[in-house]
Amino acid sequence: MGRFLSFSIRKYTWWLLAVSLNLFATTLQANEVEPVPSTFVPSQDTSPILIVDTQEERRFISRAEIESLPLYATTLQHFKGPQGSFAGVWLKDLLSAQDIDETATLRFIAHDDYSAFINSEERDYLLVTRLNGEPLTLTDFGPTMLIVPAEAEAVEAGTANMTHWVWSIRDIIVQ
Ligand SMILES: Nc1nc2c(c(=O)[nH]1)N[C@H]1C(S)=C(S)[C@@H](COP(=O)(O)O)O[C@H]1N2
Ligand SMILES: [Mo]
């Protein structure tokens, strides 16, 4: 009886080990590409860091407002240098919180006056507010930047078009 019990416990242990290794590997894989929900405490900073221009009005958006939306994080090496955990909100979530049509063409204008046309339906854009838990500032290509997690590997390899990876965003104009 004792031998039988210890045998089944041992068998169960191996099974448990295999299952947890499998889960662990899946988590690692998911982390590489698909952003995972992030649990950091949303910013309380209500000073404006982003302008949204609709046809009717100009809106000033703060970190607190952006980070009140569901937060996601993904790990990558950005082509401008920064590396680590990039966290923020899906652009689609911000648009719907701002009552902006997802199909709208958006013109993103950066602090260096770079501009790019973006359509949130074309790809899944993450609007990043943090790197490794710290708020992004102008010196690390913030206060916000657009990344496309699904393209991260291709961008790292230099094989993807990255004209829509706008950093240091100042203004979003809804066309
Ligand atoms: N703020 C800002 N974002 C930007 C750009 C820029 O000049 N300013 N250049 C875009 C372009 S055209 C490319 S190819 C990539 C890489 O820019 P880099 O070659 O200057 O590193 O970033 C994109 N995002
Ligand atoms: Mo470019």
Q: Is 104 in the pocket of ligand 1 (CB under 6 A)?
A: no
CA of 33 to the centre of ligand 1 (A): 22
Cα-to-centroid distance, 163 and ligand 1 (Å): 6
Distance 170 CA to ligand 1 centre (A): 14
For residues 141 and 96, membership in a common domain is answered with yes
Rg (CA), the chain: 21
Minimum-distance ligand 1 atom for the alpha carbon of 161: 14
22 and 58 in a common domain: no
Chain CA centroid to CA 7, Å? 47
Helix (H) or strand (E) segment spanning residue 172: strand 169-174
Same domain (yes/no): 8, 71: no
User: Structurally, how many domains does the chain consist of?
Assistant: 2
Range of the domain at 135: 32-174
> Which stretches of the chain are DSSP H helices?
2-33, 63-66, 91-97, 152-157
- Mark whether 138 and 158 lie in a shared domain: yes
Q: List per-residue pLDDT tens for the chain, 175 residues long.
A: 556 556 565 676 676 666 666 655 555 544 456 999 998 899 999 999 999 999 999 999 999 999 999 999 999 999 999 999 999 999 999 999 999 999 999 999 999 999 999 999 999 999 999 999 999 999 999 999 999 999 999 998 989 999 999 999 999 999 9
Number of Cβ within a 10 Å radius of residue 142: 22
pTM (predicted TM-score):
0.84
84 burial (CB, 10 Å; 0-12 / 13-18 / 19+) is middle
Q: How is residue 108 written in tokens?
A: 């993103």
CATH code of the domain containing 122: 3.90.420.10
